[in-house]
Structure 1
Amino acid sequence: MARRSMIKTLTGLFRRTGQRPRVCLEIRPDGIAWSAGAEPARAGFADCLPAKRLAVLQSLVTEHGWAGAATTLVLPLDQYQVFQMERPEGVEETELADALKWKLKDFLDFSPTDAVSDVFPFPADASRGRGVLVNVVAARKSLVRELIDLVGNAGLALARIDIAELALRNLVCRLDESRRGATLVHLKEHYGHMVICRDQTLYLSRRLDVTSGDLQDAAEQENAVQSLALEIQRSLDYYESQLGQAPPARIQLVCRDSALPLASMLSSYLAAGIETLDWRALGVDGELDSRCLPAWSAGLPDREVVQR
């Protein structure tokens, strides 16, 4: 793919096309997470090193008959950065990402010329007198180009690029039946991810510094649980005090080691209730491999916001 056409493909990364994606992929350092098919989608994880990605993805395409399928690519949390910035007056929506990209020079550890960026809304009722804000996403152009080439070389048709928290938003909004907000904590091998959404809108996304190894290590477990609970509670406090929102009463937890009673271990340290996500309520038989959660969530269609 020529460089110019690649940049054109990246324009409007996070805008829905109205067409439900058929295949969703998250390319991780340890493998490829995928989901495909009608709701509830099938999902799986293929372990592989980066050097084997193309061969493994081509094998998946052949095995599942995905050739030419419209594909959503989900960027993992550690492959991009999100910043809140004041929206400049008089700038058209289509020009907003480019207008703000050059303000990233003070925040990025690489040049804005090496960045690809886009924007998505910041909730107006959470700005607390800071003006009209937007979320600006930035990722290394070389990384995104590599992933785009991987999808194309495997015989798939890239439809859109998503990011982890906006993919998880699709799931969290389904948990928000009361329309008062819902919280999800997704624990991965080397870190956790906390997302709070209300009325189809992402309000808060936080990385949680915890490893599955510490949570399972008898010598480190108590300190790890307390540290995780403290990070979750601080995020809830920030959501209430700085964003001016009433914190959700319950937290849904997803972690790979379902044998560890982590929800009950955390509950004594948190003001909110916490429980392990019930996959049956989402139409999934058994448990979804938690490594597939962002890819699976990206395939969920948007639900219409209930009009008050």
Structure 2
Amino acid sequence: MTLSSVVNRVSRLFARADSRTPVCLEVRPDGIAWAKGSDGVWAGRGFVDCLPAKRREALESLVNEQGWAGAPAVVVLPIDQYQVFQVERPEGIEDNELADALKWKLKDFLDFSPSDAVSDVFAFPEDASRGRGPLVNVVTARKSLVQELMALADGAGLELVRVDIAELALRNLASRMDTANRGVALVHLRERYGQMVVCRGDTLYLSRRLDVSYDDLRDAGRQENAVQSLALEIQRSMDYFESQLGQVPPATIRLVARDSVLPLTSMLSSYVAASIETVAWSEFGLEQDLDSRCLPAWSAGLAVGETH
């Protein structure tokens, strides 16, 4: 199968799920995060350090070591590799034509031509539209980026079946924690930024990028300002969830961060109305805490349904 035909097959990002257990990957600037398994049954997870120029070699070695040749693969895009827009859903357009139709409405907001975009849609919750009419979330990413990921997976002997995005992967985890269907807020801190999602059940209501870096959080001279800035962004997101989306904010925010030395839960609790807690990984059948670098890839394996 040629690369162009593969691009056409998944020109909508969220392709149909494969019935086989997938390898879930996130390709990062500093390496490749992976997780193999689904629905709580895990064959492993890990992180391979490598420079971008060594990605193919690193993934080929991983596939050979793990015996994944021919396995289906899901690749998760981090939030700096795609954009999401809330757009009014037009009347008279079929579901399978919606993504392509709406991406052209975004031509003034994209820094590349819609013809160079891969796009798809996922639902915007009806009870959060606040009288604006039916809305949908439109996801767009550069086609060249998706082609590059396809070539990487194909060259390593994997079959790319779906491209996921970070907030929908994190939604999978949040939905598992929302046992009472009252809503869950989840904050994932990465090395250079963070991401916050607020969900109820398996519905994503809000996703925000949090501008914070571990360098600032670790530096004694910048730490207090960094913590206050992070707490302000989290609180503003919770306020927006309540005032603009008309929802009752969750009482607890779950935090996933790599640096366990920093007492971030107590540091943030002084400035945020909700309580801050770390995730109890034993509840998900993990004997050790999850490496936060693997969170999006691991969460992608917790898919809440066959498609998004």
Q: TM above 0.5, one fold? A: yes
For residues 290 and 260 of structure 2, the distance between their equivalents in structure 1, rounded to whole angstroms, comes to: 11
Q: Counterpart amino acid of 2:17?
A: T
Deviation at 1:178, TM superposition (A): 1.1
Q: Please, which runs of 5 or more residues in structure 2 have no aligned partner?
A: none
| Aligned match for 2:194, one of 175, 192, 195 | 192
| 1:299 equivalent in alignment to 2:279 | no
In the other structure, the counterpart of 1:5 is 5
Rounded to whole Å, the distance in 2 between the matches of 1:113 and 1:12 is: 13
How far apart are the structure 2 equivalents of 1:250 and 1:282? 18
Q: Following the alignment from structure 1 to structure 2, what is the Cα–Cα distance between the partners of residues 14 and 197? A: 19
The answer to whether structure 1 residue 25 and structure 2 residue 30 are counterparts is no
- CA RMSD, 1 decimal: 1.5
- SS of equivalent residue, structure 1 residue 131: coil
Query: Residues 20 and 301 of structure 1 are in contact (CA less than 8 Å); yes or no, is this contact kept in structure 2?
Result: no
Q: Which residue matches 2:271? A: 269
2:229 corresponding residue in structure 1: 227
Q: Is the 8 A contact 2:18 2:72 kept in 1?
A: no
CA distance in 2, matches of 1:177, 1:274: 18
Q: How does 1:79-118 map to 2 (within 5 A)?
A: 79-118=81-120
Give the Cα–Cα distance (whole angstroms) in 2 for the partners of residues 118 and 37 of structure 1.
25
* TM-score of the aligned structures, taking structure 2 as reference length: 0.95
2:157 corresponds in structure 1 to 155
State the distance in 2 between where 1:87 and 1:303 align. 23
TM-score, normalised to structure 1, is 0.95
Residue 61 and residue 79 in structure 1: after superposition, are their counterparts in 2 closer, same or farther (change >3 A)?
A: same
Q: Given that residues 21 and 72 in structure 1 are in contact (C-alpha distance below 8 angstroms), is that contact kept between their aligned partners in structure 2?
A: no
**Contact 2:153–2:159 (CA under 8 A) maintained in structure 1:** yes
What does the per-residue CA deviation read over 1:14-73, in whole Å, with 9 as the maximum and x for residues that have no partner? Answer: 255362542100011111000013524221000111110000000000000000011111
State the shift of 1:114 in Å: 1.3
After superposition, the C-alpha distances for 1:202-234 in whole angstroms (9 at most, x for unaligned) are 100000000011001100000000000000000
Distance in 1 of aligned mates of 2:110 and 2:76: 21
Indicate whether 1:256 and 2:263 are aligned. no
Contact 1:40 1:284 in 2 (8 A): no
Secondary structure at 1:117 match in 2: strand
Written as runs of structure 1 = structure 2, the 5 A alignment for 1:67-216 is 67-216=69-218
How far apart, in 1, do the equivalents of 2:33 and 2:7 lie? Answer: 25
How far the C-alpha of 1:13 sits from its partner, in A, is: 2.4
Identity of aligned residues (%): 68
Gaps of 5+ in 1: none
- The range that moved more, 136-145 or 275-284, is 275-284
Which residue number in structure 2 is paired with residue 246 of structure 1?
A: 248
Query: What is residue 35 of structure 1 aligned with on the other side?
Result: 35
Cα deviations across residues 121-143 of structure 1 (Å, max 9, x unaligned)? 00011001111100000101111
Task: For residue 37 of structure 1, give the secondary structure of its aligned residue in structure 2.
Answer: strand
Residue 237 of structure 1 aligns with which residue?
Answer: 239
Seen in structure 2, the aligned counterparts of structure 1 residues 217 and 169 have a Cα distance that, compared at 3 Å, is same
Matched residue, 1:48: 50
